[in-house]
Amino acid sequence: MRDVVVTGIGATTPLGGDAPATWAAMLANESGVRALDAEWAEELPVRLGAPLRVEPSTTLDRVTARRMDRCEQIALVSAREAWADAGRPEVEPERLAVVVGTGVGGVLTLLGQNEVLQRSGPRRVSPHAVTMLMPNGPAAWVSLELGARGGARTPVSACASGAEAIAMGLDLIRLGRADVVVAGGAEACLHPLPLAAFAQARTLSRRNDDPEGASRPFDVGRDGLVLGEGAAMVVLERAEFARARSARVHGVLAGAGLTSNAYDIVASEASDQARAMRLALASAGLRPEDVDHVHAHATSTQHGDPVEAQAITEAVGKHAAVTATKSMTGHLLGASGALGAISALLALRDGVVPATRNLEELDPQVDLDVVRDKARHGDWRAALANSFGFGGHNVCLAFTRA
């Protein structure tokens, strides 16, 4: 078993244009949720969301950006940051791989180009539409940017996609197929159709008059998730490779566990979520009592939050400090697992767990030590990051302090 370390992080989120800004905002308990004041949102039942704090156009040149869907743009922005943060490792191209997950990929291009087709005819459709809408586009663009020839992969497992990408990166290094892997997730689908679809499924919060208070994981008054957009990436390295180049290490990706529910296309069961956590612990060589912190998937839905709370209790116990940063960022879908992983990693590195925002009254079904009101400092040594997706996808990542 090869040890795997994290040497680079990058993110662009509703809280900040890079990873340090996002982390600082999390610790300050800020909110990236706001009212959607665009004309297209006026007739929607849900008129709130969590858009990017910084537009990708501020760092991408216009010619390149025009060939890319927004999802691809932000994947490239966050990957560039992570690569620079890692010190731009010198690695053989065949030993460098990319894994970028997404839930829906270039849906903005798909919907936008369909409007062009209906309005102006087939000759006006962009010649770049195919490469902009394909779900593997973010991974492809990152691999082109870095010259990665060790594989460019794209797990598509709904809201677990970003976490599954990191788990796949762990496997690639442990199996000896790569020395360095850039892994994470990206999502950008703030558009009338996804918002209307999620609203019809009764999964979105309808607190249109209180956007910043809308995402309320574990709170008794929660009424649904908030749709957001963003990207998050990590650079994973074989520990010996990182050591040989004297790389700075943020932490250790110690293990991962993946399960599927085979239960319901939307609803999930605590037993299979708990099994993913146990598999992650076994993969990392950790015991439940070793876990100091759990970054919960916790989307602020009526069904999901107590189920996950039960799963954490079964797999880990009640002693770990639990947080849910979707209370600040909203739900970034395919990018959420990667951002949760970065939060858990930095909590260990810096010895501080962000508080869950908007938690005024803990649901009595949630018998956990949920961090609330303000960030909590401590000597954290091991953490789990949960990520669950529609379709029954369960992913848990285990991190230990460097």
Beta bridge partners of 257: 396
Q: In what order do the strands lie in the sheet with 321-323?
A: 152-153, 96-101, 180-187, 230-238, 4-12, 251-260, 393-400, 382-389, 293-295, 321-323, 369-370
SS3 60: coil
β-strand 230-238 against 293-295: which pairing, if any? unpaired
- State the angle between helix axes of 19-27 and 70-85 in degrees (0 to 180), rounded to the nearest 10: 90
CA distances from 326 to 153, 217, 249, 279, 354 (A): 26, 8, 26, 24, 11
End-to-end CA distance of the chain: 17
Burial class (CB in 10 A: 0-12, 13-18, 19+), 128: middle
- Check: CB of residue 133 under 8 Å from CB of residue 110: yes
- d(Cα 341, Cα 236) in Å, to the nearest integer? 12
Q: What is the DSSP letter of 217?
A: T
Whose tokens are 């020395």? That residue is 179
Q: Which of 369, 288, 292, 364 is nearest to 324 (CA)?
A: 369
Is 251 in a helix, a strand, or coil?
strand
Read off the DSSP letter of residue 67. T
Q: Quick one: CA dihedral 391, 382, 165, 324, positive or negative?
A: positive
* One-letter identity of residue 276: A
3-class DSSP state of 379: coil
Question: Which residues are part of the catalytic machinery?
Answer: 159, 297, 331
Residue type, 117: L
Minimal CA–CA distance to 382: which of 311, 305, 334, 319?
319
Nearest Cα to 394, choosing from 308, 309, 330, 327? 308
What DSSP state is assigned to residue 225? B
